[in-house]
Amino acid sequence: MDKSGGRRYPRDFLLVELRRVAKELGKIPTMAEFRQHSKVSPVTLEKRFKGWNIALESAGFDPSKSRLTYSDIELIEELRRVATLLGETPYSTQFEEKSHVSAATIEKRLGHGSWKVACQAAGLVPRKYRPVGLQPGWNKGKRKIQIPPDELRYLYETEGLSAESIGVRFRVKGSTVGRMLRDAGIPVRRLTYSMPKETTIETLMYAELERRGVTFVRQQVIDGLWVVDALVPGVKFVIECDGEYWHGRPEMKTHDIKKDAYLRSRGYTVFRFPESAIKSDVKQCVQKVVNALVAHYSLKSPDKA
C-alpha cells in the first residue's frame, strides 16, 4: 500500500492508474478492489479528488455503476475492526489509513457530521485531540500542527495547492498555512482569480461536452492562481468561453494574454471560444476539442498491456 498519501503522485498519474485497474478487472473498480490491484491507496484518490466518485468521473467512468452501499451495522463493525487493530479508538485520519471506507462516510452516516458522535455510536470512547508535540497545559500561541518545510513546499509549489486546500487536508485554517509558508521562506502567491457564476455560454459548452462524452471538470482552479471554465483531465486541455462584454475590454484582453501564457508554460493547451462562435455553432467548437483529443491519443504508442 502507498504510505505517502499519494502526495508525490501527479493527478494525471492517478487517473491513468485508475483506468489501468479498471481495464485489468474488466469493470469499474470499487475502493476495495482498487486497493487489491494497485500500489496506490484508494484513499489517496479520494482525498486528491475530494471523493471517490469524483475520481471515477474524472477518469471517465459513471460512478452510479459501481457505488457501494453500507448498512449502519457494517459501518459500526468496520469502525470497531479498525479500533481493535490499533488497540484504541482511531482518529479519522488513522481510520482512513486502515480502512477502505472513508471517514467522511462514517461521520455522515453514524455521527451526523461528527467523528466523536460516530465513535460513540459504535460503542467506542472518543479520543481527545492533542496536537503532535504539544504538552498538556498552557499551549497558547503554539502551532497545532507542524508540516515539514519540504513537504509544504511540494504541496504549494509543485502540486499547486492553495493555502486553503492544504489547510483542509491538515484540518487547519488557510491563514495558519499562510503563516507557515512565510515562516519557511516560501513566497506566498497572490491569488488572481475569483470563482465566477456559470454563464449562458458556459452552460451551452458544458451541455455539448457532456453530449459528446468528453470528460471535463467545471470551474477548475489551476495552481491556486487561475480558474478556467473547463479542464479536460489527463490531457491538460483548457477550454475558455469568452463573453463579448467582459472579454472585449482592454484590461481583460491583457488579463487573458497573461493567463494563457502562464497556462501554456505549465503544459496546458488553451482553447478560447468567443461568445458569437458558441451561440452560433457550439457543436463545431466542441468538435475542435474532440479533434485535438483524437490527435493527442493517436500520437501515443499502442497499449501493449
80-100 b/e (C-beta count within 10 Å ≥ 16 → b): eebbeeeeebbbbebbbbbbb
Residue with the larger pLDDT of the pair 7 and 271: 271
User: Which cell goes with 178?
Assistant: 499562510
pLDDT band (50, 70, 90) for residue 8: low
DSSP of the chain: ---STTTTS-HHHHHHHHHHHHHHHTSPPPHHHHHHH-SS-HHHHHHHTTSHHHHHHHTT--GGGT-----HHHHHHHHHHHHHHHTSPPPHHHHHHH-SS-HHHHHHHHHTT-HHHHHHHTT--PPPP--TTPPSS--TTS-S----HHHHHIIIIIS---HHHHHHHHTS-HHHHHHHHHHTTPPPPPP----PPPPHHHHHHHHHHHHTT---EEEEEETTTEEEEEEETTTTEEEEEE-HHHHTSHHHHHHHHHHHHHHHHTT-EEEEEEHHHHHHHHHHHHHHHHHHHHHHHHTSPPP--
- Phi and psi of 218, rounded to 5°? -80, 145
Residue with the larger pLDDT of the pair 6 and 262: 262
Q: Could you tell me the residue ranges of all domains in the chain?
A: 11-65, 72-121, 149-183, 200-298
Cα separation of 43 and 96, whole Å?
Answer: 7
CB 202 within 8 A of CB 241: yes
Q: What percent of the chain has pLDDT over 70?
A: 78
Query: CB-based contacts of 35: which residues, under 8 Å, 6+ apart?
Result: 1, 41, 42, 100
Report pLDDT for 1.
Answer: 41
Average pLDDT over residues 88-96: 83
pLDDT at 281 over 90: yes
Query: Which is the CATH superfamily of the domain at 200-298?
Result: VSR Endonuclease (3.40.960.10)
Cα separation of 59 and 215, whole Å?
Answer: 7
What is the per-residue pLDDT across 193-236, written as a single tens digit (0 to 9) for each? 444 555 788 889 999 998 888 888 888 878 767 788 898 887 88
- Please name the amino acid found at residue 112: H
pLDDT band (50, 70, 90) for residue 286: very high
Average pLDDT over residues 90-117: 80
Q: What percent of the chain has pLDDT over 90?
A: 13
The torsion region of residue 159 among left (phi > 0), alpha (psi -120 to 50) and beta comes to alpha
Report pLDDT for 153.
Answer: 82
**Residue entry with cell 466542441:** 286
Report pLDDT for 148.
Answer: 80
pLDDT band (50, 70, 90) for residue 135: very low
Report pLDDT for 158.
Answer: 64
| Highest-scoring range by mean pLDDT, 31-35, 83-87, 109-113, 269-273 | 269-273
Report pLDDT for 283.
Answer: 94
pLDDT at 160 over 50: yes
What is the per-residue pLDDT across 229-280, written as a single tens digit (0 to 9) for each? 898 887 889 999 988 777 777 878 888 899 999 999 999 999 999 999 999 9
**How many residues are there in the chain?**
305
For the stretch 172-176, contacts whose Cβ atoms lie closer than 8 Å and that sit 24 or more positions apart, written own/partner, are 172/144, 172/145, 176/143, 176/144, 176/145
pLDDT at 21 over 50: yes
Report pLDDT for 42.
Answer: 87
Report pLDDT for 195.
Answer: 46
Handedness of CA 264, 268, 273, 275 (dihedral sign): negative
From the CA atom positions of the chain, what is the Rg in Å? 22
Average pLDDT over residues 75-91: 87
